[in-house]
Amino acid sequence: MDSGKLVSCLDFRYITDVLTEEEAYEILQKGQVGKKEREEQMLAHGYPAYTTSCAWLGYSDTTLKQLCSKALEDGWTRFKVKVGADLQDDIRRCRLIRNMIGPEKTLMMDANQRWDVPEAVEWMAKLAEFKPLWIEEPTSPDDILGHATISKALVPLGIGVATGEQCHNRVIFKQLLQAKALQFLQIDSCRLGSVNESLSVLLMAKKFDIPVCPHAGGVGLCELVQHLIVFDFISVSASLKDRMCEYVDHLHEHFKYPVIIKKASYMPPKDAGYSTEMKEESVKKHQYPDGEVWEKLLAAQGN
């Protein structure tokens, strides 16, 4: 699709104070330069991914070590650890994983909205020794100014703020960018609800020079978001600096066109469509209340 036609698909209402149609068109036109080379780069090497599968809260140290060792063997260089329930536990687990992956590999932290604003700053000051690239969702996802306060406080520690998986429209993202409330923008393909809305956010992020590192995982989110990251690199950002996409290694077996990961990177999908079609057998098994999975669950409850 040419730049003019693509711009005509976007809704600029409420965001023209930061991004006009003319600016969006100019960004896309500039993205034409080197586009072929970036396409070839994606086909050859894919888009960098990071893993969240190693360090969920509640995992024992033994499980964490096993999963981390396996991930390192498989070539992963970017890891995310969940934090926020207990400070001493966080310190122990972060030290464990940092010691395993070494000082050169990338570590991110995710608090899943656990803290009030002052608590987030205080807690992250204690975890700064482990050199996290970012703290994700440190407070309520609706608190734009709270994220801005945390962001400002963590700059001297070299820790960025990442958020966006709960943001449901371009206007919220506009305000997060205006308030300098994040250093890493995390779109969610389902939460934003359309390719069109996602594209307007990608373009705003480009204007503010903020890397987009999408939220993925769940049921089909990796499949959904892969198209957006490849488009962002080829046509909008033209950069992989500080950019990576989340990957969680489960539930892909239920999809007809599952995501392909090679050498810790998303490989561009070759099939037409948005990769969301589930296998009929999987849908049938999980259909409520007559599917095989539900029948077993309900029978177990009855007993």
pLDDT band at 168 (very low <50, low <70, confident <90, very high): very high
The pLDDT assigned to 7 comes to 98
The pLDDT assigned to 177 comes to 98
* Mean pLDDT to the nearest integer, 11-26: 98
The pLDDT assigned to 228 comes to 96
- Provide the CATH topology of domain 3-277: TIM Barrel (3.20.20)
Q: What's 141's DSSP letter?
A: T
Please, which residues have CB within 8 angstroms of residue 192's CB and are 6 or more apart in sequence?
167, 168, 169, 170, 198, 201
Range of lowest pLDDT (132-141, 145-154, 212-221, 281-290): 212-221
- Residues of the chain by 3-state class (helix, strand, coil), percent to 5: 50, 15, 40
What does pLDDT average to over the chain?
96
Give how far Cα 290 sits from Cα of 78, 254, 298, Å: 41, 18, 10
215 part of the active site:
yes
Give how far Cα 83 sits from Cα of 104, 124, 150, 185, Å: 21, 10, 16, 19
The pLDDT assigned to 218 comes to 78
pLDDT digits (tens, 9 = 90+) for 197-233: 999 999 999 999 999 999 998 789 999 999 999 999 9
CB atoms within 10 A of CB 169: 16
The pLDDT assigned to 194 comes to 87
The pLDDT assigned to 172 comes to 97
Work out the angle at residue 213's Cα, subtended by the Cα atoms of residues 210 and 216, and round it to the nearest 5 degrees. 155
pLDDT band at 193 (very low <50, low <70, confident <90, very high): confident
The pLDDT assigned to 302 comes to 85
Work out the angle at residue 46's Cα, subtended by the Cα atoms of residues 130 and 275, and round it to the nearest 5 degrees. 105
| Burial (Cβ within 10 Å: 0-12, 13-18, ≥19) of residue 94 | buried
pLDDT digits (tens, 9 = 90+) for 278-302: 999 999 999 999 999 999 999 999 8
Contact between 64 and 93 under an 8 Å Cβ cutoff? The reply is: yes
Q: Which of these is catalytic: 82, 174, 206, 227? A: 82
Give the pTM: 0.95
82 part of the active site:
yes
Q: Does residue 102 have a pLDDT over 80?
A: yes
The domain locations on the chain are: 3-277
Q: Which of these is catalytic: 147, 174, 206, 215? A: 215
CB atoms within 10 A of CB 16: 12
Identify which of 137, 184, 131, 185 has the alpha carbon closest to the alpha carbon of residue 159.
131
